Amino acid sequence: MVTPIANKHNAMKEYSYSLFPKPLVIAGYALICLAFVLVGFNVISSKGENDFNDFVSSAALIFISLILITFKSKIMIDAKSNIVVKESEMLGMTLSSEKIKIPGNCDKIFIKQKDKRGTGYYKFVLPVSYSIKSFDMFFYSKTGTVRLINTDYKRAIKIAEFFKATLKLEYILELPGSLIT
């Protein structure tokens, strides 16, 4: 979602997105419903012996679901001062904020795919191989590159389109064995 926001001195463009994919956000809402059903079920059928444990489990489900639903990231662009601000927030509170200076003569955004491979162990015995594709985004200029963000493919394209619309920066997508502009 792209929205202009008011700043003390000038207007900034903002792109905000949920950190978790939509299926996990929907699962967060389902967990909240499940927690309230558990509370209702335990109140009706309770004999008073495990009320505290039942309440704690429901509160834990609500807390986990609030993390899934409300954890968001924002990218704000101040085109006049060539600064990008990255913020993460949960429940309306800013958890982290980072300012990135856009290099002078920056003419494109470079998106490079990385394959992360490894082996995990299930119950410390069974090896499980995994492969994760991630995309690093960089501001590219003749003087060098500045790292912007690491994200997934769809979000990288959306962020690159946001920069293209706001700052008129083209983007280059580098996949293993090919180069797409």
**pTM value?**
0.74
Arithmetic mean of pLDDT, 143-170: 89
Q: What is the pLDDT of residue 4?
A: 45
Alpha helices by DSSP H, listed for 46-113, are 51-70
CA 121 to chain centre: 27
Edge-to-edge, what's the strand order for the sheet holding 93-101? 2-6, 11-18, 72-78, 83-90, 93-101
| Token code pair at residue 63 | 């807390």
Cα torsion angle, 32, 35, 37, 43, sign: negative
pLDDT, tens digit (0-9, with 9 covering 90-100), for 96-106:
999 999 888 88
Computed over every residue of the chain, the mean pLDDT equals 84
The Cα 87–Cα 76 span in angstroms is 8
For residue 15, give the nearest of 118, 85, 116, 107 by alpha carbon: 85
Residue spans per domain, the chain: 2-19+71-180, 23-70
Q: How confident is the model at residue 133 (pLDDT cuts 50, 70, 90)?
A: confident
Residue 8 has pLDDT above 70, yes or no: no
